């Protein structure tokens, strides 16, 4: 289809556009009443539900020249479902408020719906409702819900000195991928699977691009950690150091990250660092401060066998609240602030 015949959002009414989106959305077993009425109805078997919201804004969180609609949909779903998982809950449903410019191609919007479905479908979460509005830039505001399956929610505040600090998921892929795209060294077409097996140089670069465009969150690891007795957990969306600091402050403990525990992550990031002409320290900085990987950081009592997907990255110390790396003040600072800039 040539651009001249590619239908744009402004060529359709709201109801026509919704009619193209609805059939693409997964229902999920918890959906008692899906889209199309004033509100949806979702099951909450244990009499409670977990709820979180996260917004992506064009040219702040993504650029349309790099991210297709399906990438943005997948990323919006992942960011929200990772927050649900971080409470120890199983995702059940989400709703989407979408702002779209009139000159946005309709297939970008249906792609976004497919991206939401790609992430939600396999974990049994239904996309149960939404709202559409015109606007000058794309905004995707997702609210996600989860089922605690009778367990207590896992907060950030329960970590105790002596706990092991563990992490599930990738570190630094998204930050490295963004740096590669930003430098113009690669394009979105260079994305490959973010699967850790793809560790050759080109695969390593491609995995970073994929990790930025479509981060993979370890959604099943959240409820698994809760069942294993995690004392505190959160989604690492703003960088390991920054989010470890949040856990430390909420729990009133110190947190020490072990640099050696990140050696594998740094190795995976080296091809991207080399492509950018920087070295191992830059790769370590991505692993420590890169945002948007959506892994899970959790504390476990030291006698707990870490559940599948988690690996030790440090330990919990007595207060004062703060984060060290191998016992020292971190040499790198910062992390992603959604709000700055």
Cα 99–103–105 angle (5° rounding)?
Answer: 85
SS3 84: helix
Is residue 61 part of an annotated ligand binding site? yes
Closer residue to its own copies (CB): 96 or 164: 96
Residue 225 CB: number of other CB atoms within 10 A?
30
CB of 56 to its own copies, least distance (A): 8
Give the span between the Cα atoms of 171 and 208, in whole angstroms. 10
- 235 among annotated binding-site residues: yes
What pairing do the DSSP bridges indicate for beta strands 322-325 and 254-257? parallel
Between 52 and 228, whose beta carbon lies closer to its own copies?
52
Q: How far is the CB of 269 from its own copies (least distance, A)?
A: 25
303/247 Cα distance (integer angstroms): 20
Provide, rounded to whole angstroms, the least separation between the CB of residue 185 and its own copies: 27
Is 83 part of any known ligand binding site? yes
Contact 144, 84 (CB under 8 A): yes
Would you tell me which residues interact with its own copies (CB under 8 A)?
Answer: 13-14, 17, 32-33, 36-57, 60-61, 83-84, 86-87, 89, 93, 95-99, 128-137, 139, 141, 143-146, 148, 153, 155-157, 233-235, 250, 337-341
Q: Tell how far CA 64 is from the center of its chain.
A: 18
Q: How far is the CB of 2 from its own copies (least distance, A)?
A: 25
The pair phi, psi for residue 149, each rounded to 5°, is 50, 40
Closest to its own copies by CB, 46 or 281: 46
Nearest-approach distance from CB 300 to its own copies, in angstroms:
17
Measured in degrees and rounded to the nearest 5, phi and psi for residue 84 equal -65, -45
Q: Is 156 annotated as a binding residue?
A: yes
Flag whether 292 is marked binding: yes
Q: Is 53 annotated as a binding residue?
A: yes
Cβ proximity to its own copies, 76 vs 117, nearer residue: 76
Q: Residue 79 Cβ, how far from its own copies at the closest point, in Å?
A: 9
Helix or strand or coil: residue 97? Answer: strand
* Residue with smaller CB distance to its own copies, 10 or 311: 10
Q: Which residues pair with 315 in a beta bridge?
A: 164, 256
Tell me the C-alpha to C-alpha distance, in Å, between residue 215 and each of 81, 181, 316.
12, 15, 27
Q: Which is nearer to its own copies, 189 or 339 (CB)?
A: 339
Give binding residues for Mg(2+) as ranges.
38, 52-54, 83, 131, 235, 238
Give binding residues for ATP as ranges.
130-131, 156, 237
Give binding residues for substrate as ranges.
61, 292, 336
């Amino acid at each position: 289809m040539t651009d001249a015949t590619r239908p744009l959002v402004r060529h359709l009414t709201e109801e026509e556009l919704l009619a193209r989106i609805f059939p693409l959305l997964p229902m999920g077993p918890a959906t008692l009443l899906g889209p199309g009425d004033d509100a949806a109805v979702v099951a909450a078997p244990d009499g409670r539900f977990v709820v979180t919201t996260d917004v992506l804004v064009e040219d702040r969180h993504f650029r349309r020249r790099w991210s297709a609609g399906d990438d943005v949909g997948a990323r919006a779903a992942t960011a929200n479902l990772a927050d649900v998982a971080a409470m120890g809950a199983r995702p059940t449903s989400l709703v989407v408020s979408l702002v779209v410019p009139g000159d946005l191609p309709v297939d970008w919007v249906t792609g976004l719906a497919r991206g939401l479905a790609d992430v939600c479908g396999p974990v049994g979460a239904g996309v149960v409702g939404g709202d559409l509005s015109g606007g000058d830039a794309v905004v995707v505001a997702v609210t996600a819900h989860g089922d605690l399956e009778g367990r207590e929610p896992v907060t950030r505040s329960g970590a105790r000195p002596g706990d092991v600090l563990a992490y599930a998921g990738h570190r630094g892929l998204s930050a490295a991928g963004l740096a590669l795209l930003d430098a113009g060294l690669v394009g979105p077409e260079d994305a490959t699977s973010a699967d850790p097996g793809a560790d050759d140089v080109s695969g390593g670069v491609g995995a970073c691009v994929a990790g930025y465009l479509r981060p993979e969150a370890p959604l099943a690891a959240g409820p698994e950690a809760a069942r294993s007795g995690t004392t505190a957990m959160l989604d690492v969306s703003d960088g390991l150091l920054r989010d470890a600091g949040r856990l430390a402050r909420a729990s009133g403990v110190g947190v020490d990250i072990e640099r050696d525990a990140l050696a594998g992550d740094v190795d995976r990031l080296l091809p991207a660092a080399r492509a950018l002409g920087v070295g191992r320290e830059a790769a370590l900085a991505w692993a420590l401060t890169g945002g948007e990987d959506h892994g899970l950081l959790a504390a476990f009592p030291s006698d707990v066998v870490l559940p599948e997907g988690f690996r030790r990255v440090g330990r919990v110390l007595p207060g004062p609240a703060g984060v060290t790396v191998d016992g020292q003040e971190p040499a790198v600072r910062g992390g992603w602030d959604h709000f700055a800039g």
